[in-house]
Amino acid sequence: MKLIGAYSSPYTRRVAITLRHYGIAHDIKKVTPFGRTKARLRQINPVARIPILALDDGEFVTESQVILDYLDMLVPEHQRLTPSSGPERRKIQNLCGIASAAVDKLVTVLYEFHFRPKDKVYKPWTKMCDEQTADGFRWLDAQLVNGRFFGSQITQAEITAAVFWQFAVEKRTRFCERMDCTQLQALSDEMEQTAPFLATTPEGPIPEGMTLGTRE
Ligand SMILES: N[C@@H](CCC(=O)N[C@@H](CS)C(=O)NCC(=O)O)C(=O)O
């Protein structure tokens, strides 16, 4: 199988880390969802976003949560980062859902400032997004006890929270410092030392001057 995306995309990175955690053989095709590659991406994902998982039979799976669900099904139940049923599954999915929402709002603001002409940025909107991001991350921080959301095992919730928090800190360092999420920071510091995280270092910011690209 082939993962299409970039490690600088936190959604792609959590899939890449999960592939490595499970030891699933895969290739990676580095692609950014803007500029000249936008139209090519649209040929395989109608909404031209990353990540995309290309399966060996030619099928494409999109949306990181859906891809993770597919990867979970490839390993035995006892190895799954999200169990296939039960209250733990619901808890992990809820934690991942809040983490995704927090980072979605952060990405919205990043795009707003990168792509929109400065005088057209609508500040009440970006302020609301920032508040939602901070509320989401603070909530996650408050759920952590001794570095885990529950029990002592690493689940998809720890991986996703660590990836998304690291992304937020890299993009908006001072904003994140003000959130004072010490537990999330400790989790991120721990996870960034593990092999799957070390092997998926983000490539860097959206290059200056990168355009939105076109659909055609
Ligand atoms: N909900 C999606 C979000 C994916 C997403 O926003 N990817 C970004 C890159 S970090 C992207 O493709 N952005 C381009 C666009 O939205 O047009 C997921 O979890 O996979």
* Secondary structure (3-state) at 67: helix
Note whether residue 215 is domain-resident: no
Look up the pTM and report it: 0.96
Q: What is the CA(107)–ligand 1 centre distance, in A?
A: 9
Cβ 8 under 6 angstroms from ligand 1: no
pLDDT at 35: 86
Report the C-alpha gap between 79 and 155 in whole angstroms. Answer: 10
Determine the 3-state secondary structure of 158 from DSSP. Answer: helix
Residue where a domain stops, chosen among 34, 53, 79: 79
Q: Is the pLDDT of residue 115 over 90?
A: no
Instruction: Clarify whether residues 108 and 189 are in a common domain.
Output: yes
Q: Are residues 108 and 178 in the same domain?
A: yes
If asked whether residues 100 and 164 sit together in one domain, one would say yes
Same domain for 98 and 50? no
What's the structural domain count of the chain? 2
Looking from the CA of residue 41, the nearest atom of ligand 1 is 12
Question: Is the Cα dihedral 164, 86, 63, 13 positive or negative?
Answer: positive
Distance CA(18)–CA(31), nearest Å, equals 19
Statement to judge: residues 70 and 96 lie in one domain: no
Residue 13 near ligand 1, beta carbon < 6 Å: no
If pLDDT is split at 50, 70 and 90, which confidence band does 33 have?
very high
pLDDT at position 104: 98
Q: pLDDT confidence of 102, banded at 50, 70, 90? A: very high
- Shared domain check, 67 and 38: yes
d(CA 104, ligand 1 centre) in Å? 8
Q: Is the CB of 33 under 6 A from ligand 1?
A: yes
Report the separation in Å between the CA atom of 49 and the middle of ligand 1, taken as the mean of its atom positions.
Answer: 5
> For residues 34 and 210, is the Cβ–Cβ distance under 8 A?
yes
**Per-residue pLDDT at 19:** 98
Ligand 1 proximity of 11 Cβ (cutoff 6 Å): yes
Q: Write the pLDDT tens digit of every residue in 159-177.
A: 999 999 999 999 999 999 9
In a domain, 102, yes or no: yes
Task: Determine if ligand 1 sits within 6 Å of the CB of residue 49.
Answer: yes
Any domain includes 162? yes
Q: What is the CATH number of the domain that holds 46?
A: 3.40.30.10
With beta carbons less than 8 A apart as the criterion, state whether 77 and 84 touch: yes
Nearest CA-CA partner of 110 in 97, 129, 124, 138: 129
Output the CA 151–ligand 1 centroid distance in Å.
31
Q: Are residues 169 and 127 in the same domain?
A: yes
Confidence of residue 216 (pLDDT cuts 50, 70, 90): confident
pLDDT at 210 over 80: no
What is the rounded distance in angstroms from the CA atom of residue 140 to the CA atom of residue 137? 5
Outline where 73-115 has alpha helix (H): 87-115
Tell me, using a 6 A CB cutoff, whether residue 63 lines ligand 1: yes
Instruction: Determine the pLDDT at residue 114.
Output: 87
Element (H, E) at 29: strand 27-30
Lowest mean pLDDT among 55-69, 73-87, 104-118: 104-118
Note whether 68 and 26 are within 8 A (CB): no
15: Cβ contacts below 8 Å, ≥ 6 apart: 3, 5, 51, 53, 64, 67, 68, 71
User: Residue 152: which residues within 8 A CB-CB, separation 6 or more?
Assistant: none
pLDDT range class, residue 205, cuts 50, 70, 90? confident
Domain that residue 68 falls in: 2-79
Mean pLDDT computed over every residue of the chain = 95
What per-residue confidence (pLDDT) applies to 160?
98
Ligand 1 near 64 CB (within 6 A): yes
